[in-house]
C-alpha cells in the first residue's frame, strides 16, 4: 500500500509539473488559476503530501470522543477561578498530554468578582414586590438543578444599593437617550432598564453612567432573544421566560484583561492599580434579568408611549417610565478578590521554523456549563489535538510550531489570553504567524467567520476541503448557498446583464472584540481569525447552555464538533507546513479601500471632508495594494521555484529559499506594521489602526477606528490626525512588503 | 373698508404687473419664480380677488359646527342600505340645501349582503371551544353598547359552513404560500388564518382560493394593529384585544361597484348578472376576528415553526399548523339581497363654464359609526359647503360647476360612486375637470395626499395657504418638516456636496384603489386626488370608530376637521375659478419616466428587457414631456395675456381667451387619453394605462399596471403588448397636448 501510494504521488507530481510549466510560461500564476489539487503556499510535491497528511488528520476527530469531552467539560459550572474551572484545566492538559503533546498550566492572579449573594431587584411601593432573578429548573435538563449555578449577575458590576424611579432606555445606546430627551425624559439619578442587543453590554453600562443613571438593569427582550425567535427551551432552542443573560460589563473597548494590570501580565512582581484607578470598570450597579421579570417592571410603567424602535415583544405597548408610578430597588453585593486563573498551553515544536508560532486558542471558562460557549470549541480543540497526536505518532513534524491555548477568564474580559499575550508580547511580535480562535464553535450548522482580509483565501480554501455533515456538500458550498439564499433578488444577479456569474462570495466579517483574538490582533498586530458553526442559540450565558441543550438542539450527533476540529486543524496545518505563507494582502488593500470609501461618504455628508487628505490615503492604499500584488506574485513564483529546486537541484533556483523566507517574514511583519505604539485615541492599549471594537458597539468592529470615531464626533482635527496615523501605518506596511524585493 | 380694500388691490395688481413684465421679457415664466401672491392659473387681478374670496371661504368652517355634524352622523351605525344610512343621506342633503345649494338623493339598487346572524368560529376537538367573535362594550364609549352594531363579518363573503385543519398563512400573499410550500405545508382543503396588512383583504381571499383553501379567517395582529403600535382603546387610540376589522372582500382589482352590473349603472332596466356570473366575488367563506380570538387559534398550533417574516406580536413562537392538532369550524350565514343605496349629489352651477365640473366626493356609509371613516370627510364636506354657501350669499358664482357628492355603499366596493360614474360616464368624460376625494379625512394631524402628478403643484400650493392647527405653521411646512424628520440621514443631504438644498418635497403617493376616486380616474380618465390628515388610528372598521374615539384621540378640538374643509374647498375653488387650469403634465412625464426606469431595472434583472422596445417608450416619454413643457409655458403666458387684455383692452391679446380655452380643454383631455377602451389585461373595467391597483396589492397602485404585471409574471409577450399600449396612450396624450398649438 505504501509503495503504491508513493508511485501515485510521483505520477501526480510529474503531471502537475507539466500543467504548471505551461501556466508559468504564459502568465504569472495566480491563485485563481492554480489547479485545485495544489495548496496555496505549497510546492506541488508538498501539496500532495500535505493533502495526504491532512486526510489522515481529518479522519481522526470522532463524534463519540467529542461527545465524551463535552460531557466531561460541562458536568459542572466552571466559572473562571473556581475549583471546577481548575478541574477542567487539568482535564484539558491531561487529555492533550495523552495525545503525546506537551502541555502545561499557566497561572495568573487577576481581579475577579463573584456575587456574594443573589442580587435584589424589587418594586418599592405600598408593598414591596420582589422579582425572582432566578432561572428555573427544567426537568428534562439534569444540570439545570445544580446548586453550583452562579446567581444571575454581571461580571465587574460593583456592589451597589440604589432605589430610584425607573426609565426604559431601549438598547441603552446614545440615540436611545437622545430619543428620550426629545420626549423630555431625563435619566439622571434614575435606574435605567435596557434590553440586550445591538452592542456589547459594557457599552450599555458606560452610556448609562455617562447619562447620569445610578443603576442599570439589562433584560433579554423576547423580540430579540425569546419566543419571537422561535420555540423556547426546553420545547425549542430559544430563551425561556425565566432565563437571563449573565456577562461582563467590563469596558473592554478601553482595554481587556485584568483590570488592575493594563498592558502588563498579572504575575508576581508586576505593580497593580487600585480598583478606583482602573478605567475599564463601571461605577454603577448592573444586573441582568429575564423577560419574565422584566415584564413585571415594564407593564406597570407610565410616562410617554415608547418612541419608534423601542417596542419589544412583550404583549403590551411599552412606556418609557420615569414617573412616580414605579420606584425600584436594586442591590448587588459582590465579592471582589484577586483570584487565580489557569490557562493551558500546549506546544508541538516546529521542525525547521520552530520560532514561528501558529497559535490556536479557545477559552474554557464558562458562566455556567458552557456547552456551546466555549466548550464546543474546547472539544474541537481536543479532537484536533488528538488528530495532531496521531500524525505525530506517524512521524509528522510540523515545519512551524503549533501552540494550543485553552484560555481562562475570557468571560470576565479576555483575561487569560490578554495576560498571556502581555507576558509574551515581545516574543509573540517576533514569532507569531497567526492566531486562530474558536470560541462558541458549535451552536448549529451554519458556518461563519471573521478575520483579517489576508486570511480570507485560506479560510475559503480550507472550508472547501471539509464536508458539511448535514448536506454532504463542502462546508464552503453550503456556506455560499446559504449566503446566496439570504440575499435580496437585486443583489443576486447583475443589474446590467442579468447574469448571476459575478456574485460576491459569502462575507467574512471584520474582527471587533468579544473573544480572545483581541490581544493578538489589536494589541500585538498578529493576523487573526475567528470562526465556528452557528444556529438558533437562545441560551447564551444562561443555565441552559448545557450538555442537554447541545444534544437536543445544537449538535445532537456531534458531527459539527467533528467538522469544527477538522477545519481548525486543517487551517493550522496549512499555516504550519506551507513553504510560502498563504497570506494575501491584495484582499487587505481592497478591504481597507472599501472601509475608507464608506467613511469618506459619511464625512462628505457631514461636510467634514475638507479636513483631511483624501488623496493621501487613496494613494497610500494604492501603493500598498500594488506592492501587495507584487509580493503575492513573487510568493507564488518563489514557491514554485523552491519546488523545482528540490526536484531538479538546478542552480537557477539557488536564491529561492532565501527569498521565500524573506517573503514569509514580511508577511508576518506587514500586520505588525499596521499597529501604532501610541495606540488609539484615549485607549492606548488598542494599537491596530484598521481594526478595533467601536466605543459604542463594543463587540462590532469599527474599521479605521479613530478616523471613523472622529467623523462620528464631527471633529475635523481628530479626523485629520487619525487619518495621518492610518496613512503612516499603511506606508510602514508598504515598506515592509517592498523590502522583500531582490 | 370696502374702498380701502379696492385701493389696496389696485396697488397690488399694478406692482405685480411691473414684476411680471420684467420676468416675462427675460425668460419664460415658470411656476417656481412666480411671486407667491399669484395663484397658478389666475391672472394677477384674479389672483387678488380669488385670494380675498378664499379667505372669506376659509373663515367659514367652524369647529363647533363640525363637531355637531359628526355627532349627528355617528349617532348610530349606518351600514349602506339601512334606514340609518338613509337618515344620514337626508341629513347631508338637508344641511347642504340649508346652505343654499341644491341637493338631491340619487338611488341605486345593488347587491348587498348582511350577516343573517353572527358567524361561528370554533375549535372542534374533544370539546368544542367557540370564539367570541364580538367586540366588547367599552364603558367610556357610549355608542359601543349599541345593539345595532353589525356583527363582525366581511362584506361579500358567501355563506359557508366548513370544518377543516387550520394553517397560518401570514399576510396570505403569494410569497407566503411559497414559503409554506418550502416547509411542505399545503393548504388545499384547509382553512387558512391570515393576518391583516400588506394588501387589500380581497386579495387575501383570492390568493387563498387560488391555493385551494376552503375558508379564510383574517385577524388583526397586535404587531401590525394593536398593542405593539401603542396603547389600546380606551387607554390609547390603538386596536384593543376584542376588536376586529370588518371590510369588503370584493375583488375590486377586477371591478368595483355593484357586482351584478359591471360597467353599467344599477338602475331599472339594466340587465343584471347572476351572482354566479360575477367575477369580483370570492367563493370561500371569509371571516374577520380579533387578536384576542386569534390567540386561541394560534397558541395551540403545531407543525413547523413559522418561516422568517411570519412571526406576529402575540407572546409565543408562531407555528404554521396544518396538523391534526387543530381542526376549526367556520360558519358564515349571509343574507344577499338587492338593496337600495342613496348618494347625495349637490351642485353649484358654474357661471361661464357650467359644463365643466369640479367634483368633490366622500362616502357616507360606514361599517359602524364611521367617525373617522368616512364621516370626518362628510363633516369636512358639509363645512366646505357651508363656506361655499356664504360666498354664494355674497354674490360669488364659480366660473365652473362644483359638484358635491356624498357616496353610499363605498365600504362594500365603491358602489355609489361607481354606479354614478357609470351612469354619467359620457357626460363625465366630456365635462369633468377633476375628482377630489376625501375619505377618512381626519384621524390625526399628519397631512398626506395621493394624486395624479398633474395636480401635485395644486395640492402643494393649497397646503401653503392652510394653517396647521397644532403648530401654527402652514400645513405645507408641517408636512415637509415631518417628511424630512422621517428620512434617514443619507437622504437628507446631498452626498456629493453635503448641502441640504436639494431635498425632494414630501412624496405625494400614487392612486391605487380603496376609495371613490377609482371609477373617476381608472375607469374614466379623470384627474383625481385623495387627501386627509392621518394619525394613530387603531379602530379602523371597528365598533370603536366612534364620536368618543374622535373626541378623545383623533381630533378633540375639531380643528383638523376645519382644516380639512378649508383645504378641500380651497382646492375646489382654485380649479373652479382659474382662468387657466393649474394642471402640470411636466410632473406627470417625470413620474412616468421614474415608473418606467424602475420597471426596466426589474426587467433587466430578470433578463426580460430584450422583449420590449425600451427606446420606443423613452422616446414617447420624452416627446410627451417636451410637449407638456411647451403647453405649461404657453398656459402661463396665455393667462397673463388674458389678464393684460382685460386691463389694457389691447388688440395684441385678442386670441388669448380662445387659446386658453383650447389649452384648458386639452389639459382635461390629456388624462382621458391615457385610458385605453380595451381595458387592462383580464380586467376591461380598468382602462387607465398608468395607474391601477395591483392584482396582489389591491389597495396599492401598481404603476404601468399591465407592463409591471407582465414583468412579475416573467411573460415577455405580455410585456411587449402592455408596453405597446402604454406607448400608444402616451402618444395619444402627446397629440392632445400638441393640438393646442396655434
All 3 cell numbers of residue B123? 375549535
Kindly report the nearest CA distance between residue B544 and chain A, in angstroms: 19
List for chain B the helix, strand, coil content (%; round to 5): 45, 15, 40
User: Is A491 in contact with A588 (CB distance < 8 Å)?
Assistant: no
* SS3 (DSSP) at A405: strand
Chain A CB contacts of B317 below 8 Å: 227-232, 236, 238
Question: Among B240, B221, B409, B204, which residue's Cα sits nearest to residue B311?
Answer: B221
Phi-psi region of B679 (alpha: psi -120 to 50; beta: other; left: phi over 0): left
What's the sign of the alpha-carbon dihedral A387, A392, A393, A394?
positive
All 3 cell numbers of residue B83? 334606514
- How does DSSP assign A149-175, residue by residue? SPPS-EETPPPEEEEEEEEE-TT-SHH
- Check residue A473 and give its pLDDT: 96
All 3 cell numbers of residue A194? 435596557
For chain A, counts of helices (H) and of strands (E):
23, 14
Kindly report the nearest CA distance between residue B724 and chain A, in angstroms: 23
Instruction: Give the best residue of B182, B228, B495 to mutate against chain A (max A CB count within 10 A).
Output: B228
User: Is A401 in contact with A434 (CB distance < 8 Å)?
Assistant: no
Model confidence at B16, pLDDT cuts 50, 70, 90, reads low
Inter-chain residue contact B490 with A605, CB threshold 8 Å: yes
* Pairing outcome for strands B327-348 and B400-407: antiparallel
Q: Considering only the beta carbons, identify the residue of B236, B305, B498 that sits closest to A230.
A: B305
Residue B26 buriedness (CB in 10 A; 0-12 / 13-18 / 19+): exposed
Neighbours of A6 (CB within 10 A): 10
What's the CA dihedral at A479, A480, A481, A487 to 10 degrees?
A: 110
- Check residue A503 and give its pLDDT: 54
What's the CA dihedral at A461, A462, A465, A469 to 10 degrees?
A: -130
H-type alpha helices, A163-306:
174-182, 201-210, 222-225, 291-298
Q: End-to-end distance of chain A based on CA atoms, in angstroms? A: 45
Q: Is the pLDDT of residue B26 over 90?
A: no
B597-606 — which CB contacts under 8 Å span 24+ positions?
B599/B704, B599/B707, B599/B708, B599/B711, B601/A495, B602/B711, B603/B711, B603/B719, B604/A495, B604/A496, B604/A498, B605/A489, B605/A490, B605/A493, B605/A495, B605/A498, B606/A498, B606/B711, B606/B714
Q: A605 — contact with chain B (CB < 8 Å)? A: yes
- Can you tell me the distance from the alpha carbon of A423 to that of A264, in angstroms, rounded to the nearest whole number? 7
Inter-chain residue contact A495 with B605, CB threshold 8 Å: yes
User: H-helix or E-strand containing A529?
Assistant: strand A528-534
Question: Among B463, B426, B458, B429, which residue's Cα sits nearest to residue B446?
Answer: B463
Instruction: Give, as one character, the DSSP assignment of residue A542.
Output: S
HEC-encoded secondary structure of A311-362? CCCCCCCCECECCCCCEEEEEEEEEEEEEEEEEEEEEECCCCEEEEEEEEEE
* SS3 (DSSP) at B477: helix
- Can you tell me the distance from the alpha carbon of B37 to that of B108, in angstroms, rounded to the nearest whole number? 45
Chain B CB contacts of A493 below 8 Å: 605
What's the CA dihedral at B665, B670, B676, B679 to 10 degrees?
A: -100
Q: A320 — contact with chain B (CB < 8 Å)? A: no
Q: What is the set of domains in chain A, with CATH numbers?
A: 1-57 (no CATH), 58-107+346-471+508-577 (3.40.630.10), 111-337 (3.50.30.30), 584-738 (1.20.930.40)
What are the pLDDT digits (tens) for B629-654?
A: 999 999 999 999 999 988 887 777 88
Kindly report the nearest CA distance between residue A108 and chain B, in angstroms: 45
Q: Is the pLDDT of residue B22 over 70?
A: no
User: H-helix or E-strand containing A436?
Assistant: strand A432-437
Q: End-to-end distance of chain B based on CA atoms, in angstroms? A: 45
- Check residue A343 and give its pLDDT: 98
Interface size, chain A vs chain B, as Cβ–Cβ contacts under 8 Å? 62
For chain B, percent of residues with pLDDT exceeding 90: 88
CA atoms within a 13 Å half-sphere pointing along the CA-CB vector of A429: 14
User: Is B696 in contact with B173 (CB distance < 8 Å)?
Assistant: yes
Kindly report the nearest CA distance between residue A149 and chain B, in angstroms: 27
- Check residue A31 and give its pLDDT: 42
What are the pLDDT digits (tens) for B267-315?
A: 999 999 999 999 999 999 999 999 999 999 999 999 999 999 999 999 9
All 3 cell numbers of residue B9? 388691490
Inter-chain residue contact A315 with B311, CB threshold 8 Å: no
Q: Is the pLDDT of residue B420 over 90?
A: yes
User: Is B131 in contact with B122 (CB distance < 8 Å)?
Assistant: yes
Question: Among A327, A289, A287, A292, which residue's Cα sits nearest to residue A313?
Answer: A292
Tell me phi and psi for residue A334, to 5 degrees.
-110, 150
Q: Considering only the beta carbons, identify the residue of B238, B316, B605 that sits closest to A227.
A: B316
Q: Considering only the beta carbons, identify the residue of B315, B604, B605 that sits closest to A314.
A: B315
User: Is A199 in contact with A699 (CB distance < 8 Å)?
Assistant: yes
- CA distances for B453 relative to A430, B181, B583, angstroms: 69, 41, 9
Report the predicted TM-score, pTM, of the whole model to 2 decimal places: 0.91
CA atoms within a 13 Å half-sphere pointing along the CA-CB vector of B634: 26
- Check residue B32 and give its pLDDT: 43
Chain B CB contacts of A229 below 8 Å: 317
- Can you tell me the distance from the alpha carbon of B156 to that of B158, in angstroms, rounded to the nearest whole number? 6
CA atoms within a 13 Å half-sphere pointing along the CA-CB vector of B721: 12
With cell 455628508, the residue in question is A605
Cα B333 versus chain centre, distance? 31
Residue B11 buriedness (CB in 10 A; 0-12 / 13-18 / 19+): exposed
* Pairing outcome for strands A191-195 and B160-168: unpaired
Question: Among B307, B332, B326, which residue's Cα sits nearest to residue B317?
Answer: B307
Cα radius of gyration rounded to whole Å, chain B: 26
With cell 411599552, the residue in question is A318
User: Is A341 in contact with A78 (CB distance < 8 Å)?
Assistant: no
Cα B447 versus chain centre, distance? 14
Q: Is the pLDDT of residue B138 over 60?
A: yes
- Can you tell me the distance from the alpha carbon of A715 to that of A709, in angstroms, rounded to the nearest whole number? 9
User: How many residues in total does chain A contain?
Assistant: 742
* SS3 (DSSP) at B385: helix
What's the sign of the alpha-carbon dihedral A608, A613, A615, A618?
negative
Nearest chain B residue to A310, by CA: B228
Tell me which residues of chain A have a pLDDT lower than 70: 1-36, 487-503, 742
All 3 cell numbers of residue A274? 487600585
All 3 cell numbers of residue B490? 443619507
Amino acid at each position: 500500500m505504501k509503495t503504491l501510494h508513493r508511485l501515485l504521488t510521483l505520477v501526480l507530481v510529474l503531471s502537475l509539473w507539466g500543467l504548471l510549466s505551461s501556466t508559468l510560461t504564459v502568465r504569472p500564476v495566480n491563485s485563481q488559476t492554480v489547479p485545485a489539487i495544489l495548496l496555496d503556499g505549497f510546492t506541488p510535491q508538498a501539496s500532495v503530501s500535505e493533502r495526504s497528511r491532512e486526510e489522515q488528520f481529518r479522519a481522526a476527530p470522532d463524534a463519540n470522543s467529542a461527545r465524551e469531552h463535552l460531557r466531561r467539560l460541562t458536568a459542572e459550572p466552571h466559572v473562571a477561578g473556581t475549583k471546577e474551572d481548575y478541574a477542567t484545566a487539568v482535564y484539558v492538559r491531561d487529555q492533550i498530554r495523552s495525545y503525546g503533546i506537551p502541555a502545561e498550566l499557566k497561572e495568573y492572579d487577576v481581579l475577579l468578582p463573584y456575587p456574594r449573594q443573589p442580587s435584589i431587584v424589587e418594586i418599592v411601593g405600598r408593598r414591596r414586590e420582589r422579582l425572582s432573578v432566578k432561572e428555573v429548573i427544567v426537568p428534562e435538563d439534569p444540570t439545570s438543578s445544580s446548586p453550583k449555578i452562579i446567581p444571575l449577575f454581571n461580571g465587574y458590576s460593583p456592589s451597589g444599593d440604589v432605589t430610584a424611579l425607573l426609565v426604559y432606555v431601549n438598547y441603552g445606546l446614545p440615540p436611545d437617550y437622545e430619543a428620550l430627551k426629545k420626549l423630555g425624559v431625563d435619566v439622571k439619578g434614575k435606574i435605567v432598564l435596557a434590553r440586550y442587543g445591538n452592542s456589547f453590554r459594557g457599552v450599555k453600562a458606560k452610556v448609562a453612567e455617562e447619562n447620569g443613571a445610578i443603576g442599570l438593569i439589562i433584560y433579554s427582550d423576547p423580540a430579540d432573544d425569546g419566543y419571537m425567535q422561535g420555540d423556547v427551551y426546553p420545547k425549542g432552542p430559544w430563551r425561556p421566560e425565566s432565563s437571563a443573560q449573565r456577562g461582563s460589563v467590563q469596558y473592554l473597548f478601553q482595554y481587556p484583561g485584568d483590570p488592575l494590570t493594563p498592558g502588563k501580565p498579572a504575575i508576581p512582581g508586576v505593580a497593580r492599580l487600585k480598583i478606583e484607578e482602573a478605567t475599564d470598570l463601571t461605577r454603577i450597579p448592573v444586573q441582568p434579568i429575564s423577560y419574565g421579570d422584566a415584564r413585571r417592571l415594564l407593564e406597570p410603567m407610565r410616562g410617554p408611549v415608547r418612541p419608534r424602535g423601542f417596542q419589544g415583544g412583550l404583549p403590551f405597548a411599552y412606556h418609557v417610565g420615569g414617573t412616580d408610578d414605579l420606584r425600584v430597588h436594586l442591590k448587588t453585593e459582590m465579592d471582589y478578590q484577586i483570584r487565580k486563573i489557569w490557562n493551558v498551553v500546549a506546544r508541538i515544536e516546529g521542525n525547521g521554523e520552530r520560532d514561528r508560532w501558529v497559535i490556536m486558542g479557545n477559552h474554557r471558562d464558562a458562566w455556567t456549563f458552557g456547552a456551546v460557549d466555549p466548550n464546543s470549541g474546547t472539544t474541537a480543540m481536543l479532537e484536533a489535538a488528538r488528530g495532531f497526536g496521531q500524525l505525530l505518532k506517524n512521524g509528522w513534524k510540523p515545519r512551524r510550531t503549533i501552540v494550543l491555548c485553552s484560555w481562562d477568564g475570557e468571560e470576565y474580559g479576555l483575561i487569560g489570553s490578554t495576560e498571556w499575550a502581555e507576558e509574551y508580547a515581545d516574543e509573540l511580535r517576533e514569532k507569531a504567524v497567526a492566531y486562530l480562535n474558536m470560541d462558541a464553535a458549535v451552536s448549529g450548522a451554519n458556518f461563519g467567520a471573521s478575520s483579517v482580509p489576508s486570511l480570507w483565501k485560506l479560510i475559503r480554501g480550507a472550508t472547501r476541503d471539509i464536508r458539511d455533515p448535514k448536506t454532504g456538500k463542502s462546508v464552503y458550498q453550503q456556506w455560499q448557498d446559504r449566503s446566496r439564499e439570504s440575499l435580496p433578488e437585486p443583489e443576486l444577479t447583475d443589474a446590467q446583464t442579468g447574469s448571476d456569474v459575478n456574485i460576491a462570495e459569502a462575507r467574512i466579517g471584520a474582527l471587533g472584540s468579544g473573544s480572545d483574538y483581541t490581544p493578538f490582533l489589536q494589541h500585538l498586530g498578529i493576523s487573526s481569525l475567528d470562526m465556528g458553526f452557528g444556529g438558533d442559540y437562545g441560551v447564551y450565558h444562561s443555565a441552559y447552555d448545557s450538555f442537554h441543550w447541545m444534544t437536543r438542539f445544537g449538535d445532537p450527533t456531534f458531527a459539527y464538533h467533528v467538522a469544527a476540529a477538522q477545519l481548525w486543524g486543517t487551517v493550522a496545518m496549512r499555516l504550519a507546513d506551507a513553504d510560502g505563507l498563504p497570506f494575501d494582502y491584495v484582499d487587505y488593500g481592497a478591504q481597507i479601500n472599501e472601509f475608507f470609501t464608506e467613511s469618506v461618504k459619511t464625512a462628505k455628508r457631514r461636510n467634514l471632508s475638507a479636513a483631511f487628505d483624501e488623496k493621501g490615503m487613496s494613494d497610500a492604499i494604492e501603493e500598498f495594494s500594488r506592492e501587495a500584488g507584487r509580493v503575492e506574485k513573487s510568493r507564488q513564483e518563489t514557491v514554485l521555484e523552491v519546488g523545482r529546486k528540490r526536484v531538479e537541484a538546478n542552480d537557477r533556483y539557488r536564491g529561492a529559499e532565501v527569498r521565500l523566507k524573506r517573503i514569509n517574514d514580511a508577511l508576518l511583519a506587514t500586520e505588525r506594521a499596521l499597529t501604532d505604539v501610541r495606540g488609539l485615541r484615549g485607549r492606548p492599549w488598542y494599537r491596530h489602526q484598521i481594526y478595533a471594537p467601536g466605543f459604542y458597539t463594543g463587540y462590532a468592529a469599527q474599521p479605521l477606528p479613530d478616523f471613523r470615531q472622529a467623523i462620528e464626533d464631527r471633529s475635523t482635527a481628530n479626523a485629520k490626525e487619525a487619518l495621518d496615523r492610518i496613512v503612516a501605518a499603511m506606508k510602514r506596511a508598504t515598506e515592509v512588503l517592498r523590502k522583500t524585493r531582490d
